[in-house]
Chains A and B, each alone.
Chain A
Amino acid sequence: MNDWVPFEWIAASRFLKEGRMQTLSILAGIGIGVGVIIFMSAALAGQLANVVRRVLSAQAHIVLVPPQEVARPLRGPEVAEAAIVQRPLQRVRSIDQWQRIIDEVAAMPAVTAVSPMASGSVLAVRGEATRSVSVQGVEPDRYFRIVPLPDKIVAGAARLGADDIVIGADLATDLGVRVGDKLNIAVASGQRATLTVSGIVDLGSKGANMRTTYVALHTAQALLGLIGGVSSIDVTVRDIYAAEDVAQRISALTGVEADSWIKTNTQLYLAISAQAIANTTIRFFVGLAIAFGIAAVLIVSVVQKSKEIGILRAMGASRGQILRVFLLQGAVLGLLGSVIGSALGALAIILWGALVRNPDGTPLFPLELDPELFLAAAILATLSGLIAAYVPALRGARLDPAAAIRG
């Protein structure tokens, strides 16, 4: 008995120590449950981060494009209304006031990077071979903060001078070009240019590798007839799941059309959401099982200790004191169980990293030991213990001391 320890702590710890087997069994149960929750949470976070990294590292979170052109029929007493209004063709147009829009969007706290782009369809010509490709004119410094092209380079460098072009790996193979070779670019309007292949990139998908080329913004503007203009603005945001909200705010602020990755990859987003919901459900039920386990052990303990409770009440212990003795036992079981569970979870995460690997030996996807996850597990388990202990504790506190002593 240390002098600074209150009565409730002393009684709670002694009761737990006295029922050693019971305490150890429930601690093992809580530990395994918390371990499962921690591992599943880390697995979900790791898997999501992996999918998102793979999908979103090759595209912007939000793309701003000029508002669609619509045909507005005149209305008035002397004008007959057309029965059919044909949709106008959507030609490549520049975003009006794009430099002001970039400044405004970049100033938003939710936004991490903004990059203008002039893109359009062109033909890549090499000798007899011709391929229809998309040319994307970018400012390297800005664009590389959105799509880290230098990380994806497989040959050459991500250099985009006025005469340089970086092309997809499959396009390079198709056309038989290597770094340093010349490539002719022809546009439907008749514009032509001869550019030097400065780098070859692997964008992670055959489709993208077949038709993607990057040039400097000015080069694309000249080729596409968009002098001084841009056809779209790429944006990345801090919280990828808030992309749609941010897109709507940008749209309202600037009047341009803003498409978030959530809107353009609806199926992927739904799959991620469904997995998160399934995971949360499983974690909730594991947590519930832990809480019932703690409650069951404490209910038994209250029955076993009813005589002691009666004696304590007879010597002047208040109902509140008895209530706290059992609440504390619940909280201590939750906390200790979460420490064991954290160790088990961490072990599982480390084993996962060591054992589950791709055929090439790299980890399937990395799982992180996030301190916040362990802290959250400890707080949640302790709270669950407290809540689970409430009913047994109340039962103990309400025991009639005379009946309890009589047994």
Chain B
Amino acid sequence: MADAVVLLEAVRKSYNVGTPVETEVLHGIDLALEKGELCALMGPSGSGKSTLLNLIGLLDRPSGGRLTIDGHETSGLGDKALTRLRGHTIGFVFQYHYLIPAFTALENVIMPMLVDRGRPDPEMRARAEALLDSVGLVPWRNNLATNMSGGQQQRVAVARALAMNPALLLADEPTGNLDTKSAQGVFDVMRAVNRDHGTTILVVTHNRSLADQCDRIVQIVDGRITPDEGTAAHG
């Protein structure tokens, strides 16, 4: 597991800790994602998928166990270090609230680089243009997020998630809100990113046909990982 981009060892997560209604939603998760892997995370509603994704995305902290992201053990890191590691290592694609509505498509893609470097520069613009080109949206670059279709917005979101050239891309039901054709289009973009850049991708999905196109499917039920299933592609 020397090349593991994500490594969870006995990771637990509880809410309302120390209160009578303390609830453990993840019960000792062990999981490793290798570099360049495209992995689907499936499970019924309330099984802990989003909680797991938030932990791996460093948006939340585990209540126990060890979480290592791109070689960095995270339990000892403060908020600033976590934010920095998140910004440089992880890209996110969300199901809703795809983009920041006050900005254009191009500006949304520039945003992670702007947040990191403080001021815009021509290099950022060039990279953002190239990323928009890779998702086929250059003609829409100056559209505000609200003036684009759901599929287009989600493709911009993928381009944005790749802005910092992250080692890990986390996608929370990225196609959950899209029709079948748009969903496949967004998935194809992610597959291409995975193939061309070797980006590790963990995608939460309910869509079995998309999951089957991944390298691996991880099932989570009641806060526990069940043994990996093969996929149609990699049976």
B-contacting residues of A (Cβ < 8 Å)? 1-7, 10-11, 14-15, 17-18, 307-308, 310-319, 321, 400-402, 405-407
Contact = CB atoms under 8 A, between A and B. Distances in A.
Given A7-B118, A316-B84, A316-B86, A407 B97 contact: yes
B140 interface: no
B59 A1 contact: no
Contacts of B92: 311, 314-315
Contacts of A402: 54, 59-60
B72 to A, nearest CB: 14
Contacts of B79: 319
B115 A401 contact: no
B118 A18 contact: no
Interface of B: 50, 54, 57, 59-60, 79-80, 83-84, 86-88, 91-92, 94, 96-97, 100-103, 107, 110-112, 114-116, 118-122, 160, 164
A407 B172 CA distance: 14
Contact of A15 (B96, B97, B102, B122): B102
Q: Which of A308, A314, A400 has its CB near the most chain B CB atoms (within 10 A)?
A: A314
Nearest to B51: A402
Contacts of A17: 102
B103 A14 contact: yes
Nearest to A2: B120
B59 to A, nearest CB: 4
A14 B88 CA distance: 25
Q: Which of A5, A310, A315, A405 has its CB near the most chain B CB atoms (within 10 A)?
A: A315
Contact of A1 (B57, B91, B100, B110): B110
A3 B111 CA distance: 13
Contacts of A14: 102-103
Contacts of B101: 18, 308
Contacts of B102: 11, 14-15, 17-18, 308
A316 B112 contact: yes
Nearest to B99: A311
B115 A311 contact: no
5 contacts: A6-B118, A7-B118, A311-B97, A315-B86, A319-B79
A315 B60 contact: no
A319 B83 CA distance: 9
Nearest to B59: A402
Contact of A315 (B96, B103, B112, B122): B112
A3 B84 contact: no
B103 to A, nearest CB: 6
Nearest to B89: A316
A315 B97 contact: no
A5 B21 CA distance: 48
Contacts of B111: 312, 315
Contacts of A11: 102
Contacts of A2: 120
A169 to B, nearest CB: 72
A318 B83 contact: yes
B79 to A, nearest CB: 7
B139 to A, nearest CB: 19
Contacts of A10: 114, 120
Nearest to A320: B80
B91 to A, nearest CB: 8
A135 B122 CA distance: 85
Nearest to B114: A7
Contacts of A313: 59, 83
A314 B118 contact: no
Nearest to B172: A405
Contact of B119 (A3, A18, A318, A407): A3
Contacts of B97: 307-308, 310-311, 405, 407
A11 B94 CA distance: 21
Q: Which of A2, A14, A15, A311 has its CB near the most chain B CB atoms (within 10 A)?
A: A311
A310 B91 CA distance: 13
Nearest to B95: A405
A366 B140 CA distance: 59
B59 A314 contact: yes
A3 B120 contact: yes
A316 B119 contact: no
B200 to A, nearest CB: 17
Given A15-B102, A317-B83, A5 B119 contact: yes
Contact of A314 (B57, B103, B121): B57
A320 to B, nearest CB: 9
A311 B91 CA distance: 11
A314 B110 CA distance: 14
Contacts of A312: 100, 111, 115
Contacts of A5: 119-120
Nearest to A312: B115
Contacts of A308: 97, 100-102
Contact of A316 (B50, B87, B121): B87
Contact of A406 (B50, B88, B114): B50
A1 B112 contact: no
A407 B160 CA distance: 21
B160 A315 contact: yes
A55 B50 CA distance: 78
Given A3-B119, A7-B118, A15-B102, A316 B164 contact: yes
Given A311-B100, A314-B59, A405-B97, A4 B119 contact: yes
Nearest to B54: A402
A316 B88 contact: yes
A301 to B, nearest CB: 12
A256 B115 CA distance: 72
A14 B110 CA distance: 15
Given A10-B114, A316-B116, 16 more contacts: A4-B119, A6-B119, A7-B114, A14-B102, A308-B97, A308-B100, A308-B101, A311-B97, A312-B111, A312-B115, A315-B87, A316-B87, A316-B112, A318-B80, A405-B94, A407-B97
